[in-house]
Chain A
């Protein structure tokens, strides 16, 4: 082994050519590889569509979906997005505003946690969307029932992750803080809250997914506007390209929200970054 290593280092010292730089292709492959893949899929998809491989009623090619998208932008897209966005934002605000303190409380109190644990787990694993018709009866066809839908669906991942976060605070850190003179509030501020942040982020990530489903399905089942309503309306009249365009918009919004959450996580928990500042 030693001989080999020595030979290698000798050779490298004698070698007059400088160390090889990776080619431009190599250096940027993490950008162009995914972009290239998407472009190839779109091109093949488009070619197959133009070859008439499927009935346009059942599926659309990328250019047709683009047509659907422009038709949406010229039509109801912005007001639909505004309605769905408001429903989502208010519902999430309620889920976080209630879920975070409830989770903190249940996580800090063993008895309360024991008492509510089965109920929370049962509700979390139940497809609460079946309550949508009831919520429509309570809150009407408008935004109210969708906000309630989002809040009810998104609150459980937040609560469950907050409970888990509080319960897994490192007891050695709590002891260290106490030993150095931290009192109740400083312990929450300096130990409990920071250690709960990663769990909070996970809770929010899951809540966003649930919240999106809640808005779209809520509007899909019973509404007069919103992106979920638009998807249903277009699907019902076999306007497949517009319907698929709306689905694509939902995909893009999800990706953007997850990306934003990563930025928020870096801001909230810079210590988890593996690179040295």
Chain B
């Protein structure tokens, strides 16, 4: 595994500068995972604290989404360990919630019922009215309180993903797992949703693990970026992003420097993956 490169710059007011002395909520230690003889994830390690926004970026098939499955406790690693608050994660635990690429809203439930769904399973201590009050509150936060009685099919893709965000934030998890949440949206909707996510994360100080294909998305949102290799998925670069305010004079130059560095690695990785795929059948 390539040694992680850390890029440090001046202190930032953006999403997260986390206190490294605080013990991490999420610990991923030398995780290996695969199906049969195929290794999908090989020796991946990182950790996350409250306020960390960690983007995982890499070519298709590098195991980014599989890694989220492991973090969500839906599968267990073959070697190494995943720990959430020091414990092995199990499916459906309240410490985490997931935002899916294709929204994964129940078509037969109204917008409000979809947001309430997670609360119903996880917050059995709450009365029905309290659950719906929370669901309303989060729908308001994503600007959809007036659409609460509609069914998902009546909403645009961007609106559906806002429902997905409201559902994920409403259960107030410590860790938010986002699997290419803007991948199915057009550019404008994706931009607006990025702003929504940034506002929600800043307000609630969650740990976010965010899988994306989009370099700019990763740079705009994260304080750490893990660049993964494909076949098997390993961490090629771990970059700490420390950008100043977007209004500051040196923001564009600094942003561009990060982008260039990440793109250099990513391009190389995509080219290598493509070459491997072309060789594939004869291997």
Contact = CB atoms under 8 A, between A and B. Distances in A.
Given A271-B151, A277-B150, A179 B92 contact: yes
B92 A180 contact: yes
- Shortest beta-carbon contacts, A-B, top 10: A181-B92, A181-B121, A176-B104, A194-B108, A180-B118, A271-B151, A271-B108, A179-B98, A181-B122, A172-B104
Q: Give the size range of A's interface with the partner.
A: 20 to 34
A194 B106 contact: yes
Interface in A112-168: none
Contact of A179 (B91, B107, B150, B154): B91
Contacts of A190: 106, 109, 117
A189 to B, nearest CB: 11
A177 B114 CA distance: 10
From DSSP, what is the main secondary structure of chain A's interface residues? helix
A173 B106 contact: yes
A81 B187 CA distance: 63
Interface in B101-119: 102, 104, 106-109, 117-118
Nearest to B117: A180
Given A190-B117, A271-B151, A276-B154, A178 B108 contact: no
Interface in B58-117: 72, 74, 91-94, 96-98, 100, 102, 104, 106-109, 117
Nearest to B122: A181
A186 interface: yes
B267 interface: no
Contacts of B100: 172, 175-176
B149 interface: yes
Contact of B108 (A175, A269, A274): A269
Output the residue of A178, A180, A190, A191 with the most chain B CB within 10 A. Answer: A180
A87 to B, nearest CB: 34
Given A180-B117, A277-B150, 7 more contacts: A175-B74, A175-B104, A177-B106, A178-B91, A179-B74, A271-B107, A277-B149
Interface in A177-228: 177-183, 186, 190-191, 194-195, 197
B147 to A, nearest CB: 10
B74 A178 contact: yes
B244 to A, nearest CB: 36
Contacts of A178: 74, 91-92
A173 B117 CA distance: 12
9 contacts: A172-B104, A180-B122, A180-B171, A183-B92, A190-B106, A271-B152, A274-B153, A277-B149, A277-B150
B104 A181 contact: no
A267 to B, nearest CB: 13
Q: Give the size range of B's interface with the partner.
A: 20 to 34
Contacts of A175: 74, 100, 104
Contacts of B108: 194-195, 197, 269, 271
Interface of B: 72, 74, 91-94, 96-98, 100, 102, 104, 106-109, 117-118, 121-122, 149-154, 167, 171
A189 B98 CA distance: 21
A197 to B, nearest CB: 8
A176 to B, nearest CB: 4
Nearest to A268: B108
Contacts of A277: 149-151
Contacts of B72: 179
A213 B96 CA distance: 55
A197 B109 CA distance: 14
A194 B107 CA distance: 9
A34 to B, nearest CB: 30
A266 to B, nearest CB: 13
A180 B177 CA distance: 12
A191 B113 CA distance: 13
A274 B107 CA distance: 12
B97 A179 contact: yes
Given A271-B107, A277-B149, A182 B154 contact: no
A276 B74 CA distance: 36
Output the residue of B91, B93, B104 with the most chain A CB within 10 A. Answer: B104
Contacts of A195: 108
A186 B72 CA distance: 19
A258 to B, nearest CB: 23
Interface string A258-277: 00000000000111001011
Contacts of A180: 92, 97-98, 117-118, 121-122, 167, 171
A177 B91 CA distance: 10
A42 to B, nearest CB: 42
Contacts of B106: 173, 176-177, 190-191, 194
A181 B108 CA distance: 19
A276 B150 contact: yes
Contacts of A271: 107-109, 151-153
B178 to A, nearest CB: 12
